[in-house]
Every structure is written in structure tokens, then in C-alpha cells.
């Protein structure tokens, strides 16, 4: 996941991905990047972030078709069910971020507070702000993947011709 970076308050752009990483075994916070290079100014992510100014949660999310490279599923390919699970977790993360619902599997993060309502999003933002190692995670170059220049992702014409039949429109 690629996000922007508010230099004055860097934790605000990192809370949503941090929550998602705690919910989903398919999402790794350490793989996120929160940088904005000059070459990315024209991307939708950066343009929206600069235009809206008050919305820290503008991201580019990538997925893998090749497989997972960390954790208990390292080396395995993603299945349709796996993609549906992460989609569900993306939606659940919105509920947690907006402090509408905290699922049972995340209640351990704030200890036993009884029935007291806890703002998990604010708590994680404070954790990020006070943990320089976690806060710096993802700083730097965000030039890979779908945020890259389109020409970097294109296959050479010769390779495309091998897999896509060329149809003569004159016939």
C-alpha cells in the first residue's frame, strides 16, 4: 500500500494501514510506503491528497498474483477466497478507524477495559507517534509497482505479440 506523508504529523497517514495489518494475515505494514516524490505529483493518490488537504487516507493498494513473501503463507499463491478475505478486512478497517466497531480479535490490543469504549484508531495513532521505529517504517522511495511510471510496467511489443493474437482488421 502506498500512502502520502504529512511531515508535521506522519502518524495520521499510517493508522489505517496499521489497523489493516493487525486484521489481515495478507497485509504487511512493513511493505507499505509513505513517500511522495516529485515524479508522483501527477498520480491520483498524490493529487487528491494535495487537493483535499484534510484527508490522510488516500492510498494506492497493490496485490499479488505471484504469491505471498512473508508470514505463515510465505510461498503460497493467493486464492479467490484470500482476495475476498482482504476485501472484507479493508471494510472492517474502515469501521475500526471510524471507531464504530472493534472486532473481538483486536480487543486484546487495548487490554481488559470492561465495557468501556476504546478509540482504537486514536490509541494506534499515539503508538505510532511514540514509536520512532514504527513511524519510520515505510519512509522513502515509493517508486515501485502501480505507482511507477506506466512505461516501466509495459511488456515489450515482442512479448505481447507472443501471447495476444494479432487480428487483421482489413479482412
Catalytic positions: 62
Contact 115, 106 (CB under 8 A): no
Residues 6+ apart with CB under 8 A from 110: 118, 120, 123
C-alpha cell belonging to residue 62: 497493490
The angle, 0 to 180 degrees and rounded to 10, between the axes of the packed helices 120-130 and 80-97 is: 90
Distance CA 16, CA 98 (A): 10
Lookup: cell for 20: 489493516
Is 138:30 a contact under the CB 8 Å cutoff?
yes
Is residue 49 within 8 A of residue 43, CB to CB? The reply is no
Give helix 120-130 / helix 15-23 axis angle, nearest 10°. 110
Amino acid at each position: 500500500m502506498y500512502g502520502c506523508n504529512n511531515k508535521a504529523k506522519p502518524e495520521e497517514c499510517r493508522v489505517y494501514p496499521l489497523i489493516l495489518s493487525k486484521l489481515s494475515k495478507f497485509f504487511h505494514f512493513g511493505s507499505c510506503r509513505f513517500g511522495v516524490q516529485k515524479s508522483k505529483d501527477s498520480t491520483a493518490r498524490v493529487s487528491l491528497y494535495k487537493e483535499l488537504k484534510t484527508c490522510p487516507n488516500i492510498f494506492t493498494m497493490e496485490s499479488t498474483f505471484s504469491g505471498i513473501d512473508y508470514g505463515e503463507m510465505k510461498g503460497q499463491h493467493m486464492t479467490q477466497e484470500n482476495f475476498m478475505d482482504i476485501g472484507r478486512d479493508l471494510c472492517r478497517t474502515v469501521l475500526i478507524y471510524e471507531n464504530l466497531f472493534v472486532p473481538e480479535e483486536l480487543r486484546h490490543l487495548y487490554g481488559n477495559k470492561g465495557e468501556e469504549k476504546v478509540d482504537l484508531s486514536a490509541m494506534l495513532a499515539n503508538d505510532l507517534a511514540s514509536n520512532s521505529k514504527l513511524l519510520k517504517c515505510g519512509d522513502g522511495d515509493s517508486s515501485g509497482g502501480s505507482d511507477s511510471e506506466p512505461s516501466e510496467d509495459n511488456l515489450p511489443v515482442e512479448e505481447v505479440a507472443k501471447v495476444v493474437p494479432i487480428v487483421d482488421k482489413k479482412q
